[in-house]
Structures are given as C-alpha cells and as structure tokens.
Amino acid sequence: MKTFKFVVLAFVTILFVPNTFAQTPAKSIASKTETIKVSGNCGMCKDRIEAAAKVAGVAKADWDKSTKILTLAYNSAIVKSDDIQKKIAAVGHDTEKYKADSKTYNSLPGCCKYR
C-alpha cells in the first residue's frame, strides 16, 4: 500500500509539475496594452501624467502631448485600467472615465490648465 501511495504521488507530481511551469507564460498573457485619452497641455503635464500612471503592475506609460493619448502596458492581473485612470485624475488630469476635481485642477500651474 505504501508503494502504491508513492506511485500515485509520483504520478500526480509528474502531471502537475509541468503545469506549474506552463503557468509562467500564461501570466504574461495578462499583459495588456491600452490607449486612453488624457487631457493635458505641456511637457510638465506629460511628466505628471506618466508619473501618476506608473503604479505597481504598469510596465509602460507614455503620453503624447499632441494627440493627448496615453499608451499603457500593464499586467491586468495586478492593476485595472480604472485604478490607473483614478490615479491620473487624482493629480489633476481628466481621463475618459474619471474627472479631476476642481480643487486639484485649480492647483495646476497655468500652462497646464486645459479646460
């Protein structure tokens, strides 16, 4: 019976160990690329938006001053698009889904006022 248990255990191990390794590439599938419209004007806005967007799980945040498009690459298993957009709105920049509150917006430097 002991031998049988060992054989079963060994068999189960053989079955599951490769699966465990196979999950490593599966996690990288959670990597998502997304473009979001974010309001802003200048290079200072760019720095502020990108710094706010770079939360845990975000691999890339690149905002284009002329198109107002933020390109994000992030791990959707760690962070959601909404969470990133909330962070950006919290520093004064409107996103597609979240608006910066007027107090935060008013505290932006004059060159950054986009409304």
Q: Does 42 bind Cu ion (CB under 5 A)?
A: yes
Work out how close the CB of 44 gets to Cu ion at its nearest, in angstroms, rounded to a whole number.
4
Q: Is 112 in the site for Cu ion (CB under 5 A)?
A: yes
| Closer to Cu ion by Cβ: residue 31 or 41 | 41
41 binds Cu ion (CB under 5 A): yes
Binding segment toward Cu ion, per CB under 5 A, in 11-19, 29-37, 42-50, 93-101:
42-50
Helix axes 43-53, 81-90, angle to 10 degrees: 140
The answer to whether 45 contacts Cu ion (rule: CB under 5 A) is yes
- Strand order in 58-63's β-sheet? 31-37, 69-75, 58-63
- Stated as kind and residue range, the H or E segment containing 99 is none
User: Which window, 37-45, 54-62, 71-79, 96-104, contacts Cu ion (CB under 5 A)?
Assistant: 37-45
Q: Is 51 in the site for Cu ion (CB under 5 A)?
A: no
> From CA 36, how far away is CA 14, in angstroms rounded?
45
Q: Which is nearer to Cu ion, 38 or 79 (CB)?
A: 38
Cβ within 8 Å of residue 105, ≥6 positions away: 92, 113, 115
User: How many CA atoms lie within 13 Å of 8's alpha carbon, on the beta-carbon side?
Assistant: 5
Residues lying near Cu ion in the complex (CB under 5 A): 41-42, 44-45, 112
